[in-house]
Amino acid sequence: MNNEELLINFLSSISVFLQTIPAPVIVLVFFVTWVVFWLPIAAIILFFLPSTSQENLAAEKKIPLVISLYSLAPIILWLMNQFREISYNSYGLWLNLSTILTLVVGCLLGVITLTAVFSCQLLWGWCQLQKQNFSQLPPILFSIFLIALVISAVEELIFRGFLLTELAQVNGIWLAAIASSVIFAVLHLVWEQRETIPQIPGLWLMGIVLVGARLVNHDNLGLAWGLHTGWVWAIACIDTAGLITYTGKVPEWVTGKYQKPLAGVTGITCLLITAIVLALGKGI
Q: Is the pLDDT of residue 101 over 90?
A: yes
Which one has a higher pLDDT value, 170 or 205? 205
Contacts of 166 (CB under 8 A, 6+ apart): 23, 24, 26, 27, 176
Q: Which letter, b or e, does each residue of 235-252 get, where b requires 16 or more Cβ atoms within 10 Å of its Cβ?
A: bbbbebbebbeeeeebee
Which one has a higher pLDDT value, 24 or 198? 198
Q: How far apart are CA 19 and CA 33, in angstroms?
A: 16
What are 175-228's pLDDT values in tens digits? 999 999 999 999 998 878 888 999 999 999 999 999 999 999 999 999 999 999
Q: How far apart are CA 261 and CA 206, in angstroms?
A: 12
Domain ranges of the chain: 1-86, 93-284
Q: What pLDDT is attached to residue 48?
A: 78
For the chain, give the mean pLDDT.
88
Mean pLDDT (whole number) for 82-110:
91
What is the pTM (predicted TM-score) of this model? 0.90
Mean pLDDT (whole number) for 103-130:
95
Lowest average pLDDT, out of 86-100, 109-123, 228-242, goes to: 86-100
Q: What pLDDT is attached to residue 191?
A: 79
